């Protein structure tokens, strides 16, 4: 994996600058990466291709991000919103709200095509596999937060494996969408949440 040249200056050399020129530069680079992802997929979206499309030097790209994975993650985050779990006052309400929002996102372009492509590319490219791990880790946080709120309300037991909770809740939704290719209805999401809660918090 190609990485940015070492920078010994104090502070994080890749921390986003608020300088307008740096902001514009990042925006142009991200836009180029997004366009390349749509046209050529992950394999064809290299730092060299991003530099050529954006008109930015590779050194400029590496000044903003440490490696290709970080650039692609920024591009994906720019076009794929995170599902939210607003505080409804109950764990069921939070998780149903999250599930509905997640289904909306993964069935709406460009995410509908991007997520399967990301999963497919991760099977063949270790760098993309790490990107997928970063991408999914960030999108688990709303569920973790919803469960923590339930614990604080005395609605759920503490000490549960947060990642297992995510797997049990999200696995059926992604399986139905990506593998069985059946509609993921609101009723299905609610059934998944209810089954999950009965199994884990009975």
Domain range holding 66? 20-78
CA neighbor of 189 nearest in space, from 60, 95, 72? 95
- For residue 90, the domain's CATH number is 1.10.357.10
Distance between CA atoms of residues 157 and 110, nearest Å: 38
User: pLDDT confidence of 41, banded at 50, 70, 90?
Assistant: confident
Count the Cβ atoms, other than its own, within 10 Å of residue 170: 20
Question: Residue 30 region, left (φ>0) first, then alpha (ψ -120 to 50), else beta?
Answer: alpha
pLDDT in tens, 60-83: 999 999 988 889 888 888 877 788
Q: What pTM value is reported for the model? A: 0.73
pLDDT one-digit tens code per residue, 114-168? 888 888 888 888 888 887 888 788 888 899 999 999 999 988 888 777 788 888 8
Structure tokens at 131: 């990107």
Average pLDDT, the chain: 84
The CA distances from residue 36 to 47, 57, 74, in Å, are 11, 16, 13
Task: Name the pLDDT band for 194 (thresholds 50, 70, 90).
Answer: very high
One domain, residues 56 and 112:
no
Judgement on whether residues 67 and 97 belong to the same structural domain of the protein: no
One-letter-per-residue 3-state SS of 105-173: HHCCCCHHHHHHHHHHHHCCCHHHHHHHHHHHHHHCHHHHHHHHHHHHHCCCCCCCCHHHHHHHHHHHH
> Is position 6 within any domain?
no
Residue 192's pLDDT band (cuts 50, 70, 90): very high
What's residue 17's pLDDT?
A: 57
Same domain, 111 and 46: no
Please give the Cα distance from 85 to 38 (Å, whole number). Answer: 28
Q: What pLDDT score does 132 carry?
A: 84
Cα 193 to Cα 95: distance, rounded to the nearest angstrom: 7
CATH number at 74 reads: 1.10.10.60
Q: What is the C-alpha to C-alpha distance for residues 78 and 16, in angstroms, rounded to an integer? A: 15
- Shared domain check, 162 and 105: yes
């Amino acid at each position: 994996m190609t990485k940015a040249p070492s920078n010994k200056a104090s502070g994080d050399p890749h921390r986003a600058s608020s300088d307008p020129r740096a902001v514009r530069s990042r925006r142009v680079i991200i836009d180029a990466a997004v366009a390349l992802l749509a046209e050529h997929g992950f394999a064809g979206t290299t730092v060299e291709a991003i530099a050529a499309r954006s008109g930015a030097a590779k050194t400029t790209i590496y000044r903003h991000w440490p490696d290709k994975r970080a650039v692609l993650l920024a591009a994906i985050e720019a076009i794929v919103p995170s599902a939210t779990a607003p505080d409804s006052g109950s764990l069921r309400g939070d998780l149903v709200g999250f599930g509905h929002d997640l289904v909306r996102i993964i069935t709406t372009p460009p995410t509908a095509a991007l997520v399967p492509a990301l999963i497919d590319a991760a099977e063949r490219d270790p760098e993309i596999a790490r990107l997928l791990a970063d991408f999914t880790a960030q999108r688990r946080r709303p569920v973790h937060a919803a469960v923590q709120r339930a614990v604080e309300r005395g609605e759920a037991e503490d000490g549960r494996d947060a990642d297992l909770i995510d797997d049990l809740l999200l696995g059926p939704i992604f399986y139905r969408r990506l593998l069985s290719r059946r509609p993921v209805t609101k009723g299905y999401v609610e059934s998944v949440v209810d089954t999950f809660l009965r199994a884990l918090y009975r």
